[in-house]
Amino acid sequence: MLTILFHGTSGCGKDTQLEYLQKDYGFENIGTGDMFRKLYEQKDPDAIIAHEYWNRGEFVPNDLVYKMFPKWLKQFDPNKNWAFVSTVRDAGQIPMFDALLESTGRTLDRFVHFKLSEETAIERMSLRWICPECGASYHEKFKKEDVKGICNNCGAQLIQREDDKPGKISNRLKEYNRTIEPILEEYRNRGILLEIDAAPSIEEIHNTLIKELGL
Ligand SMILES: [Zn+2]
Q: How far is the CA of 17 from the centre of ligand 1 (A)?
A: 25
**What per-residue string of b and e applies to 67-84 under the rule 16 or more CB within 10 Å gives b?**
bbbeebbeeeeeeebbbb
Q: How far is the CA of 133 from the centre of ligand 1 (A)?
A: 5
CB count in 10 Å sphere of residue 111: 22
Residue 184 has what pLDDT?
A: 96
Which domains are present in the chain?
3-117+170-212 (3.40.50.300), 127-164 (no CATH)
Residue 149 has what pLDDT?
A: 96
Q: How far is the CA of 155 from the centre of ligand 1 (A)?
A: 6
Q: Which of 46-50, 111-115, 125-129 has the lowest average pLDDT? A: 125-129
Judged against a pLDDT cut of 90, whether residue 71 lies above it is answered with: yes
Q: How far is the CA of 10 from the centre of ligand 1 (A)?
A: 22
165-214 pLDDT tens trace? 888 888 888 888 899 999 999 999 999 999 999 999 899 999 999 999 99
Q: How far is the CA of 157 from the centre of ligand 1 (A)?
A: 8
Instruction: Give percent of the chain above pLDDT 90.
Output: 70
9-43 pLDDT tens trace? 877 889 899 999 999 999 999 998 889 999 999 99
Task: Report the candidate in 108, 92, 96, 102 with the shortest Cα–Cα distance to residue 6.
Answer: 108
Q: How far is the CA of 164 from the centre of ligand 1 (A)?
A: 18
pLDDT mean across residues, the chain:
92
Q: How far is the CA of 64 from the centre of ligand 1 (A)?
A: 35
Evaluate whether 6 touches 85 at the Cβ level (below 8 Å): yes
Task: Report the candidate in 73, 86, 81, 104 with the shortest Cα–Cα distance to residue 2.
Answer: 81
